[in-house]
């Protein structure tokens, strides 16, 4: 019992010290962490609108030749087989063939599934760690849509 | 056909009335009120309470001069869609009234009206997302804090990412993405 009281007293003293030490930083400081967001992300857009996003992505890559462009695609909870891969490859093809970005500067990731289809475009500086996906839907919870047509850059509307 | 040398036109930022209009649409402003209250409850212990009660209140405190486009916006070499600087109420780094939302300028080929409208709606998404970072009295609320607060509200989606270790950008972006998806369920373009 005596030992417990000493331990409690020590914990209490440490808590006070940590609070006092941490207080000025938290109380007066600027943002505790970097606050920002992906360079660009979007959902199931028409191909014309998607091209506008890809154009902007390509412009960023043109402005800084050291950046590597990541295309991360999450298929939706209802999805076609291979939809994320098809979307990613279509985007990459457009950026390479229409906007002239070297293929070696682009990477794509099939991110798995989110509630809704999501495309993320992120230029990454040299030497930075590889980006990784963060799926939120288990494969077992995905509903596969049958009779999907493959995505090509000639299709005007989104969807399968 | 490679069009890379066609002039690239910057898309202008709409006025803050466009942000106010979005905040007034559906349950956006009410959702932000709930999110700020939750963030204040979770992270306001050292005085870092929310300085605004909802989105419209926050917008008025940042003011119309507090939204700025910036070309090639980067954080530690990473191009980003938006970020913040300054402080609404002042802290040991920034004066009161210096809160600013920085939004990455979007460029387009040509001048298609539908593309301009799409990017301007996108600017509003970014502005609303970033505004909430400025709501914490002293140190703001970061992406992980807002993602965590959003995950505790009714109807929140699964898949809250793990908190980032140190300044791991991948982890920060994934938390930012979760927070953004929850926010845009209520405040996205209708």
Q: Would you state the pLDDT for residue B8?
A: 87
Answer with the residue of higher pLDDT: A150 or B132: B132
State the Cα–Cα distance between residues A111 and A142, nearest whole angstrom. Answer: 13
Instruction: Tell me the pTM.
Output: 0.86
> Do the beta carbons of residue A41 and residue B148 sit within 8 Å?
no
Measured between beta carbons, which residues in chain A are less than 8 angstroms from residue B169? 34, 128-129
Q: Is A96 at the interface with chain B, CB within 8 A?
A: no
Cβ–Cβ < 8 Å for B132, B32:
yes
Residue A64 has pLDDT above 80, yes or no: yes
Whether the complex's predicted ipTM surpasses the cut of 0.90: yes
Mutation target to probe the B interface, by most B beta carbons within 10 A, among A22, A35, A63 is A35
| A103 contacts chain B (CB < 8 A) | no
Q: Is B15 exposed, middle or buried (0-12, 13-18, 19+ CB in 10 A)?
A: exposed
The pLDDT of residue A111 is above 70:
yes
Hey, is the C-beta of B110 within 8 angstroms of any chain A C-beta?
no
Question: Which backbone phi and psi does B171 adopt, to 5 degrees?
Answer: -70, -40
Q: How far is A159 from chain B (nearest CA, A)?
A: 19
Q: Average pLDDT by consecutive 10-residue portion of chain B (190 residues)?
A: 67 98 98 98 96 98 97 93 96 96 95 96 98 96 96 96 88 94 96
Q: B166 in contact with A at a CB cutoff of 8 Å?
A: no
Q: Least CA distance to B89: which residue of chain A?
A: A28
Cβ separation A22–B46 shorter than 8 A: yes
Instruction: Give the one of A98, A123, A131 whose C-beta lies nearest to B79's C-beta.
Output: A123
Cα–Cα nearest to B118, from B2, B7, B11: B11
pLDDT at B2: 52
């Amino acid at each position: 019992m005596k030992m417990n009281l000493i331990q409690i007293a020590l914990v209490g003293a440490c808590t006070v010290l940590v609070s006092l030490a941490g207080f000025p930083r938290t109380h007066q400081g600027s943002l505790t962490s970097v606050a920002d967001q992906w360079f660009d992300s979007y959902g199931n857009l028409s191909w014309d609108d998607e091209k506008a996003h890809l154009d902007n992505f390509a412009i960023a890559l043109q402005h800084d030749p050291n950046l590597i462009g990541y295309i991360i695609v999450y298929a939706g909870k209802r999805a076609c087989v291979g939809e994320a891969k098809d979307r990613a490859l279509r985007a990459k093809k457009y950026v390479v063939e229409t906007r002239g970005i070297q293929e070696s500067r682009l990477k794509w990731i099939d991110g798995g599934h989110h509630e809704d289809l999501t495309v993320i475009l992120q230029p990454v500086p040299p030497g930075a760690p590889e980006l990784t996906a963060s799926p939120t839907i288990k494969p077992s919870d995905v509903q596969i849509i049958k009779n999907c047509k493959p995505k090509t850059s000639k299709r005007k509307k989104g969807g399968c | 056909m490679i069009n890379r040398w066609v002039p690239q036109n910057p898309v202008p930022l709409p006025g803050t009335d466009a942000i106010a209009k979005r905040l007034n649409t559906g349950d956006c402003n009410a959702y932000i009120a709930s999110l700020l209250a939750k963030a204040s409850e979770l992270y306001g212990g050292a005085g870092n309470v929310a300085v605004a009660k909802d989105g419209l209140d926050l917008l008025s405190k940042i003011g119309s001069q507090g939204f700025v486009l910036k070309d090639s916006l980067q954080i530690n070499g990473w191009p980003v869609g938006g970020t913040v600087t300054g402080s609404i109420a002042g802290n040991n780094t920034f004066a009161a009234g210096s809160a600013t939302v920085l939004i990455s300028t979007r460029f387009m080929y040509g001048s298609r009206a539908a593309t301009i409208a799409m990017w301007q709606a996108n600017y509003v998404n970014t502005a609303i997302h970033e505004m909430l970072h400025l709501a914490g009295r002293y140190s703001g609320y970061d992406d992980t804090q807002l993602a965590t607060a959003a995950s505790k509200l009714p109807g929140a989606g699964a898949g809250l990412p793990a908190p980032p270790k140190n300044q791991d950008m991948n982890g920060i972006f994934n938390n930012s993405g979760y927070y953004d998806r929850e926010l845009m369920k209520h405040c996205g373009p209708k």
